[in-house]
Every structure is written in structure tokens, then in C-alpha cells.
Amino acid sequence: MRRLLLTLPLLCVPLLAAGQTLDGDQQGNPVWLQQSALAKSGQLPQGSLLVQSQNASTAGAQNNSNLSFNPLSGGTVSSSGLQYSVTPNVTAQADVTQRSWVSQPRIVGSEVGATYNTGRYSLGLSVAQDQMPNSAVVLPRVLPGAVTGVNGLADFDSSTQVNARGRFALNNNNGVLLGASMGRIRLMPGNLLGLNALDQKALSFGVEHGSVSGSIIGRTMQPEQGVGLPSSFTTDRRWNSIDLGVTWRLPWQGSLSFGAQNLWSSGNSTNTPAGPPEPDQSRTPYVQYHQDL
């Protein structure tokens, strides 16, 4: 019994690490590439299981390299993840995220993947999906604009993407982050663009320096290849955008984020005088404060 009592505190160490609230603005890093000391150093004992969770505002969602949400739309993000150490350097991960708004449908995302981590270098590959509940499909027909805008699209239905993320540690406090994503965004039937799906590609570059981190993310979308399009569309039609964000993690478990969504954007013009509606690519500067309780 005495040995069991002495062992219990040791067993709680991973849970204590998991219980720490993760910063909600880590430039595209999911739970399994955050700044948790265990996950970053690759020191999880083989066969161990690490549970992580966070609750934050949607402020961090705009820096996700897969999808872009309006940073000023409000709402909350709740996520839970599992890490299982296959070997001392390889972990498997599963993560579920829910984004909720008061007046808009929620979006549920899931991601599974694996990470190779040597301590200084890490590389993660994953497959992710985001979708709205089926009951939300009828909302655009009754309440125009009620569906959450994703990547500037008002008729977002779901998306699937393959992600690659890497980190190179310069030292204990500094690092470089790289990310890439390829996927497909599906739109609701009868959307104003007149399209069923859009192919998306994204690249991200981030830098960490102590308590300050920043990232730049570039995205491009174009109609799904090989699908018949309206006469006003061409197969090379696309929309491009660049987001920029900086986060300062404060000593009292708070964070200050500022930047701009769609700092630069472009889209091909149509051949008709009016043309179909474009995805909303208006520049959106923001300054947000988040406090972990």
C-alpha cells in the first residue's frame, strides 16, 4: 500500500501536464504540436497515454493553416486530444474540436495523425475533417447569412484535408514552424457561387522567440478540377489570401494577439459584367486578449 501511495504522484505527472491550458494561438499547431514540454521534447515514455484539452475563444482559429475563420466573429473553441507513444520518438494522435457561436451553427472537426520527434526536429502528418451538423443544411434557405463564414465562404458545408507540420528548435526558447495542407471544401447545394466544391492549398511559416510567436499563412482556392462550370468560370479561376498574426504569451496565463486576416488577397475577374459573388476577402485587422482561468 505504501508503494502504491508513493507511485500515485508519479502517475499524475502526465495528467498535470495535460491539464495545463494550451495557448489558443499557436500558428496552426494542433494539440499534438503545442508547447507542452513533454510533447515538444519527445520524452513521453513508450506505451504512455497523454490526454490534453483546451477551452478558448475562437481567436486562435484564424491561424489554423487548414481553414480560416473570421477572428472577430466571437464564439468558443473546445478541443480534446489523445497522444499515444508508440516508440520514444513516434507518437500517434487523435483530436476532436468544436467551434461554437451563439447565432451560428457549430462546426465539429476531427484529426488523426502521427508525429516523429527527436527533440530538436519534429514532423507530423495527419488527416482532418471539419463539418457542420446535418440539421444546419436548411439554414441558408431560411436565414441567409446564418451559416458561419469559412475561408470567406458563406455556404460552407464540410472539408477534408491532409496536413504536414514541422518544427525546428533553434534552442530551448526559439523555434521555426512550417506547415502545408491540401484538401477540398464542399459547399451547400444551391450556393451563390454555383459550385459543389473547391480545392484548397495552404502554406504556413512561423517563428517562436520566448513568449512571442508569429506566423504568416498563405491560402489558395479554386473550383474542383474536372467538374463542369458555368460559362463565366474558367478552370484556372482561383482566390488567394495571406494572413499575418503575432501572439504574446503573458506571465499571468494570458495572451495578447494581433494581426490581420486577408492582409493581402486576390481573385480572378469574371467574364460577365456582374459575375457571381466572390468569397469575402476583405482585410480584417484584429487585437484580442485571452485569459486562461
Q: What is the pLDDT of residue 133?
A: 77
Could you tell me which CATH number the domain at 2-291 has?
2.40.160
**What's the pTM value of the predicted model, to 2 decimals?**
0.76
Surface-to-core class of residue 135, CB atoms within 10 Å of its CB (0-12 exposed, 13-18 middle, 19+ buried): exposed
Q: What are the distances in angstroms from CA 230 to CA 154, 188, 233, 237, 280?
A: 19, 17, 6, 12, 20
What is the Cα–Cα distance from 128 to 212, expressed in whole angstroms?
A: 28
Residue-level pLDDT at 147? 52
Q: What is the pLDDT of residue 41?
A: 52
Report the C-alpha gap between 115 and 12 in whole angstroms. 24
Q: What is the pLDDT along the chain (293 residues), one digit of tens a residue?
A: 444 444 444 444 443 343 333 343 333 344 444 434 454 454 567 778 888 887 766 554 444 557 888 777 777 888 899 999 999 899 999 999 998 887 778 889 999 999 999 989 999 999 999 998 764 444 444 444 445 578 888 788 899 999 999 999 999 889 999 999 999 999 888 877 778 899 999 999 999 999 999 999 999 999 886 555 554 454 557 899 999 999 999 999 888 989 999 999 987 655 444 455 678 888 989 998 878 76
| Greatest C-alpha distance within the chain | 81
pLDDT given at position 240: 93
* H/E segment holding residue 9: helix 2-19
pLDDT for 85 equals 92
Rounded Cα distance between 183 and 199, Å, is 6
Task: Tell me what pLDDT residue 246 has.
Answer: 94
Report the pLDDT value the prediction gives residue 229, as an integer from 0 to 100: 54
Domain boundaries, the chain: 2-291
Report the alpha-carbon distance of residue 256 to residue 59 in Å, rounded: 10
pLDDT of amino acid 132: 85
The number of residues in the chain equals 293
